[in-house]
Amino acid sequence: MAQSLWTLVSGSLVTGGYFGFRWFLQATDVVVRYRWDFNGTPLHPREFRPNLDIRNHSKSHTYLLASIEYRLNGVAAPPLDIDNRSLWGKELKPGTIQHFADVAPVKRIISFNQAFNVEVLVRTQSGKDFWLKGQGPKQSYQRIQRVAYRLRDVLDKSAIPLG
């Protein structure tokens, strides 16, 4: 009886660990960073838009990008703008870095101060439909995200092959 219980518990832990590791890899597959660009002069900027740097750390998954959503930092209000055309159908192949500088200008952003308070979310066309929160100027990842991405970098550089 005790041995069968031990087998059941250890099997559950191994299975849970495997699925947890796979979830961790998928959660840290894609990293989105951006900086703000504008038309006009530095004294009179207009038409703010992000220059996106999107990295796919996966060794086997290709992602199709869908849309970009702009929200005020930390506010659960309706989005400022949604861009469905700039990234739609762009492919992120495994192990690649893509730079997107031709993103459409964001409506309702008229100053640098306002741009720095905007959060950029990139959506993929995958069946799981997860959001990739970007890291931009004056923004940093939360502590747990920083630890997760650092751990992902260590695992990528080590001899452990990742799925």
Q: What is the pLDDT of residues 6-35, one digit of tens each?
A: 888 888 888 877 776 666 666 667 888 888
Q: What is the pLDDT of residues 32-86, one digit of tens each?
A: 888 888 888 878 888 899 888 888 887 788 889 988 888 887 677 788 889 999 9
CATH number attached to the domain at 29-157: 2.60.40
- Percent of the chain at pLDDT exceeding 70: 73
47 neighbors 72 (Cβ within 8 angstroms): no
120 backbone dihedrals φ, ψ, rounded to 5°: -105, 125
Q: What is the mean pLDDT of the chain?
A: 79
Distance CA 3, CA 7 (A): 6
CB atoms within 10 A of CB 32: 20
pTM of the entire predicted model: 0.69
- The strand pairing partners of 40, in sequence order, are 45
Cα separation, 82 vs 19, whole angstroms: 33
